Structure 1
Amino acid sequence: MPTALGQRLHDLAGLPAEHQQIAGPRGAGHGSGTSVRCIAQPPSPITMYITQHTDYALRALIYLGTSGDRLVTIQEIAERFGVSRNHLMKVVNALIRAGFVEGLRGKGGGLRLARAPGEIIVGAVVRQMEPGMCLVECFGSGCQCILDPDCKLKVGLARALAAFLQVLDEMTLADLVGKSERSILKFLPIVTA
């Protein structure tokens, strides 16, 4: 049974009681008192994900942003990140169609940014690459939920999505391409898939 101190520490740490173990007085040389230690991993927080398509798009843009005006091949990016060349080709084609990347065909061709890194808004890339930003069924058409007409959850999720995109709208590719990214992409060994 948790002690008052254990309950207080639980309240402060936010750990459920089953993840705590209350110990008695500490041994000699360690002072006296009661300690609480975590005996299991606390539940992980719920995570929002972007699709792999968008992840690869952002990685490709970062790579191109660190390459300056040098032409880069899809194969080079795929090898650098250890990702599927075929999947990356689809991603890059979407980036070209959206006007973020310029693709030059033929011998000596390759890829480069179509705009300056400071002109590429991360939120715009995410909106372009994500097939839909519907967090729940009621964001789309044909919702079957009986709560839809007056659902407060829908309103809260819409506000959360807007806040997520607002943060990304404040970021440009230039913000993502710093000295550390250049060093990592230039000097770390190439990942082999």
Structure 2
Amino acid sequence: MRLTNYSDFALRSLIYLAVKPKPDEFVNIVDIANSYRISKSHLTKIIHQLGRLGYVETVRGKNGGIRLAMHPTKINIGQLIRHTENDFALVQCFEQLQQTQHNSAIIPTVNFSTKSTEYCAIAPACMLKPALAEAAQAFISVLDKYTLADFLLNKDDLLELFN
């Protein structure tokens, strides 16, 4: 499975915010964009969503910026990816993914009830789709085991790279 740039930039933005020396200080979005050499306008959309989801706190104005809204141990990576990825389909024949509740976590599932052969003649009898759906769920399940804090064990090295 391949994550979109959107999810990648969201993860990297959270890492940036988590490694800064003074966690309570606000960071300018331009600083993050420059550090990663990514588009400020694209990053602004991502940060806006992260703010709506409660991952970051955003303040407008001269002394504004962004900072983490919660401790890195509280940011589950699997949950973040569920929020930032809009499609877990591994192959073209997957129908639109549905979100189901499972132990208070949202797990991506695929609707297999379709008999549509729009993309593939064998779709109604295909045994590959369930295996790929299981693989996508396994991918997310692995990410559920990690928090943002797990990616900060080399915090000093990361901070040096940002400077």
In 1, Cα distance between equivalents of 2:74 and 2:162:
30
In 2, Cα distance between equivalents of 1:109 and 1:71:
6
The residue type equivalent to 2:128 in the other structure is L
CA 1:112–1:187: 2 relative to 1, 3 Å: same
What is the TM-score with the length of structure 1 in the denominator? 0.67
Residue of structure 1 in register with 2:47 after alignment: 92
The residue type equivalent to 1:119 in the other structure is K
Structure 1 segments of 4+ aligned residues over 4 angstroms from their partners: none
Residue of structure 2 in register with 1:30 after alignment: none
1:64 to 2:17 alignment = yes
Q: Following TM superposition, by how much is the alpha carbon of 1:152 offset from its aligned partner in structure 2, in angstroms? A: 1.0
CA 1:94–1:115: 2 relative to 1, 3 Å: same
In 2, Cα distance between equivalents of 1:189 and 1:155:
42
In 2, Cα distance between equivalents of 1:156 and 1:118:
32
Residue of structure 1 in register with 2:156 after alignment: 183
Q: Following TM superposition, by how much is the alpha carbon of 1:189 offset from its aligned partner in structure 2, in angstroms? A: 6.1
CA 1:90–1:143: 2 relative to 1, 3 Å: farther
Q: Which has the higher contact order (CA 8 A, sep 6+)?
A: 2
Residue of structure 2 in register with 1:149 after alignment: 124
Q: Following TM superposition, by how much is the alpha carbon of 1:171 offset from its aligned partner in structure 2, in angstroms? A: 0.5
The residue type equivalent to 1:81 in the other structure is Y
Native 8 Å contact 2:117 2:124 kept in 1: no
1:167 to 2:142 alignment = yes
Match among 104, 117, 134 for residue 59 of structure 2: 104
CA 1:60–1:66: 2 relative to 1, 3 Å: same
In 2, Cα distance between equivalents of 1:60 and 1:189:
12
The residue type equivalent to 1:56 in the other structure is F
Q: Following TM superposition, by how much is the alpha carbon of 1:137 offset from its aligned partner in structure 2, in angstroms? A: 2.4
Q: For this pair of structures, how many residues does the alignment match?
A: 141
In 2, Cα distance between equivalents of 1:171 and 1:84:
27
Unaligned segments of structure 2, at least 5 residues? 97-115
Q: Find the residue that maps to 1:139 and give its secondary structure.
A: coil
CA 1:143–1:121: 2 relative to 1, 3 Å: farther
Unaligned segments of structure 1, at least 5 residues? 1-47
> Radius of gyration: which is bigger?
1
CA 1:143–1:172: 2 relative to 1, 3 Å: farther
Report the RMSD for the aligned CA atoms in angstroms: 1.7
The residue type equivalent to 2:30 in the other structure is Q
CA 1:189–1:101: 2 relative to 1, 3 Å: closer
The residue type equivalent to 2:124 in the other structure is P
CA 1:134–1:110: 2 relative to 1, 3 Å: same
Q: Following TM superposition, by how much is the alpha carbon of 1:183 offset from its aligned partner in structure 2, in angstroms? A: 2.2
What is the TM-score with the length of structure 2 in the denominator? 0.79
